[in-house]
């Protein structure tokens, strides 16, 4: 992979996530997005978006 990022998760974490209901997964996602909106600077948000688009 030339651009973007990569990470790994332990099998236990994946299994734990799979046990969550759809509603719980969406609530978790909403909470993470709200947290990021509050704590990330505009520069950090821009960098994150570039990572998502594999521009860096």
| Segment 3-18, tens digit of pLDDT | 777 889 999 999 999 9
In the chain, where the domains are located: 11-52
Rounded Cα–Cα distance for residues 16 and 39 (Å): 26
Torsion of CA 33, 52, 15, 22, to 10 degrees: 50
Torsion of CA 51, 52, 54, 56, to 10 degrees: -10
Rounded Cα–Cα distance for residues 11 and 33 (Å): 24
Averaged pLDDT of the chain = 93
pLDDT by residue (tens digit) across 29-39?
Answer: 999 999 999 99
Beta-carbon contacts of 24 under 8 Å, excluding residues fewer than 6 positions away, are none
Mean pLDDT of 15-29: 97
Residue 28 has pLDDT above 80, yes or no: yes
């Amino acid at each position: 992979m030339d651009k973007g990022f990569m990470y790994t998760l332990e099998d236990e974490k994946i299994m734990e996530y799979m046990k969550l209901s759809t509603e719980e997964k969406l609530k978790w996602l909403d909470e993470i997005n709200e947290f990021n909106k509050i704590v990330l600077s505009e520069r950090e948000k821009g960098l994150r978006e570039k990572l998502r688009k594999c521009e860096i």
